Structure 1
Amino acid sequence: MTKHALLSSEAKLWRSLACAKSELRLDLTLACGQSFRWRETAEGHWTGVMGGRVWTLTQTDDALWYYVYKKQDGLEGSERKRKASISPVEENKSKKRLKAVKDEGEPADATVQDCDVEEKLLRGYFQLDVKLGDLYSDWGAADPHFKRIADIFTGVRMLRQEPTECLFSFICTSNNHISRIQGMVERLCEALGSPLCQLDQASYYDFPSLSSLADGSVETRLRDLGFGYRARFLQQSAKQIIDVYGIQWLESLRSVPYPQARNALRTLPGVGTKVADCVCLMSLDKAEAVPIDTHVWQIAKRDYQYSAGSGQKSITDKLHRDLGDFFRALWGPYAGWAQSVLFCADLKKFQKFKQSPVKQLKNEEENEDKQPEMFIKSEKMS
């Protein structure tokens, strides 16, 4: 059985590119609620799906290391068992997807062309052409509070995700928390995506295509998988994109101004202003988009004495716009990137980084004593 790769045991099979930790921290960037496809499969090793490939990533002080797995044959049997309850039409579609995977070959073969493609994918995904250190310096000069946070939370980058995956993942975030969203996205890919490989009994699937998501049977199937009312939004949004806008519509939004892209996304079922801003920021190249939810609103009130709308109980469109403008005026054209640093720093899972080494060690020892009774609650995401 193929196992998850470890840099320490098979370094000659890995490739790397120069990247300091001050420019990218995998543990922060991949676990702060931008993407829901990555898991820490060994200490400091993150495995996930990107660009139709399964990757394991890790890093040293000055390099980003990556291992790309070959697409595996012989998955048909498990697919038949997994999809035994699917209609004949859907099963036929699944077989065609599986055949397409096999016909594509194995992109992990270490040819020069493959290496170039994979390095380009990785650089684009992490937007490594953006000099994060320079942005941190600019934000810190304009904002003393940011500077204090940035000294601890370095290397939080904004991912550039594939628009379809980003949009439909964030439709799942409505009234949800990070760990549950991860499970939903995983089930969505397992139910409708193409199989890629199996590692240590964990199966990895590509994200479903728009046509798969738009199929008339999808809502019922996803409700059975625990998606609730979000099942209808997923199917109807995919159908609306295909029927009204066309298959290339989401990609085309990368080339239009931010307000136009945000308003276009809001025409889709289940897409409000916050989700639209997340998609604009994380997949459509709108670095100025600042997603606003109650979590970010609390940061603004607590750390920036932002008082507008303080008498309100919910975030209106006006408050969303005004608060976004406040942060854009403070941080500039990459305001969405800066906001992600503060959002990350405020998540409960990362509070240990703010503690002194002595206090952190004490808390870890206390947590070990309480481990059988612990229940970890993730932050709400609207």
Structure 2
Amino acid sequence: MRLVSIENGAAVLAVTCFSLEKTLTCGQCFRWRPEPDGSYTGVVKGEVLNARQEADNLILKPVSEATLQNLWISYFDLQRDYEAMNQQLLQKAPWLAAPIETGKGIRLLQQDPWETTITFLFSANNHIPRITKSIEQLSYRYGTLINRINDHDNHAFPKPDQLTDLTLEDWRAVGAGYRANYLFQTVRQWKACYRLMSEQQHRDPRADRELLQTLPGVGPKVSACINLFGMGARHQFPVDVWVRRMVKSLWPEAPQTDAAIEAEALNLFGEAAGYVQQLLFYHARLQKIK
């Protein structure tokens, strides 16, 4: 990544092996909306950003030097060499050739743990358009209004205290369905759970997952997603129906059970496991759409 310019509240970054569209639509985040000009507008940690890609240039606005350095570069994971990672993965697993080609440009976003927890509780047995709609409704109804751009109100994702008084019916009204009770209870347990994770002398993703799984509705797959997308723990390999199908279709020596697939993938790919999972997920969904 190279900073080309930053002036008048807009930054231009030269980034190779990056696709804004794939990164924002591959199922790891749900608060970016496409604009008529091909750009995307999103709300991240209380900041509203419009992002547009022109060839290898990424244009971000409004930004300051501080928000660019302290938030957006890390959020989009722009300093990591994904091209080198792809080459290393192909040497380890040649069967990843098609997913790497399909998903080239995807980057793992560095998101907020609390928002990611609520988001992926909504994701259980759900699909991306419905999750996106639910998260947008939740933010619109209960999050703090940040600004209004192009006749669209942008709200921050609600904090735990802003959701404490919601009833089960309130959760169902934003599309939670059977997940309403999980969300209702998790809001009340989140602060204690996150405090325990933060108090660990040495952060251990396995211990974090065990703590996350004490939250109602959080099982192995959802806890892995929260760790991967919300806590930056890249040594994760969430297995869902899409990933399972791709693994068994492409991986000659694929284990049979989800737990064994996860364990073997972590052993094979190490810190790149979470990235491989996204490549497989994106490739599977694209094949289904085709």
SS of 1:204's partner is strand
Cα separation, 2, equivalents of 1:141 and 1:254: 36
Q: Distance in 1 between matches of 2:142 and 2:202?
A: 29
**2:128 alignment counterpart:** 178
Whole-Å separation in 1 of the counterparts to 2:41 and 2:124: 25
Aligned length: 284
Offset at 1:349? 7.8
When residues 255 and 132 of structure 1 are mapped into structure 2, their CA distance, relative to the original with a 3 A threshold, is: farther
TM-score normalized with structure 1 length:
0.69
Distance in 1 between residues matched to 2:101 and 2:88, nearest whole Å: 13
Q: In structure 2, which of residues 260, 267, 279 is the aligned counterpart of residue 341 of structure 1?
A: 279
Q: Aligned pair 1:203/2:158, yes or no?
A: no
Residue identity in the other structure for 1:327: A
C-alpha RMSD of the superposition: 2.3
Counting only pairs closer than 5 Å after superposition, residues 119-158 of structure 1 correspond to structure 2 as 119-158=69-108
CA distance in 2, matches of 1:16, 1:300: 38
2:143 to 177, 193, 200: 193
Q: Deviations over 1:47-92 (max 9, x none)?
A: 1101211111012233211112xxxxxxxxxxxxxxxxxxxxxxxx
> Take 2:151 and 2:90, find their aligned partners in 1: how far apart are those partners?
45
Separation in structure 2 between the aligned mates of residue 220 and residue 149 of structure 1, nearest angstrom = 41
Q: 2:210 aligned to 263, 280, 286, which one?
A: 263
Q: What does 1:37-76 align with in structure 2 at a 5 Å threshold? A: 37-68=31-62
Which consecutive unaligned segments of at least 5 residues does structure 1 have?
Answer: 1-10, 69-107, 109-113, 310-318, 353-382
Q: Secondary structure at the match of 1:155?
A: coil
**In structure 2, distance between residues paired with 1:342 and 1:253:** 32
Aligned to 1:8: none
User: Aligned partner of 2:160: which letter?
Assistant: L
Contact 1:287–1:333, Cα closer than 8 Å, also in 2: yes
Identity %: 27
Q: Larger radius of gyration, structure 1 or 2? A: 1
Give distance in 1, aligned partners of 2:137 and 2:217. 19
Residue 171 of structure 1 deviates from its aligned partner by 0.5
Q: Using the alignment, how far apart are the partners of 2:11 and 2:188 within structure 1?
A: 40
Instruction: Describe the SS at the equivalent of 1:176.
Output: coil
Distance 1:182 1:36 in 2: 5
Q: Distance in 1 between matches of 2:101 and 2:286?
A: 18
CA distance in 1, matches of 2:200, 2:136: 26
Q: Deviations over 1:286-340 (max 9, x none)?
A: 111000012111111111145643xxxxxxxxx3331112212332321111221
AA at the equivalent of 1:299: M
Aligned with residue 217 of structure 1, among 166, 188, 195 = 166
CA distance in 2, matches of 1:183, 1:252: 34
Question: CA offsets per residue over residues 350-382 of structure 1, 9 Å max, x none?
Answer: 966xxxxxxxxxxxxxxxxxxxxxxxxxxxxxx
AA partner of residue 62 (structure 1): D
Query: Take 1:304 and 1:150, find their aligned partners in 2: how far apart are those partners?
Result: 14
- The 8 Å contact of residues 197 and 208 in structure 2, kept in 1 or not, is answered as no
Shift of 1:188: 0.8
Query: CA distance change for structure 1 residues 223 and 150 in 2, over 3 Å: closer, same or farther?
Result: closer
Secondary structure of 2:83's match?
A: helix
CA distance in structure 1 between the partners assigned to 2:74 and 2:148 by the alignment: 26
Q: In the alignment, does 2:232 pair up with 1:236? A: no
1:216-260 residue CA offsets vs partner (Å, 9 max, x unmatched): 334332223332222221121120123x446x4566679521211
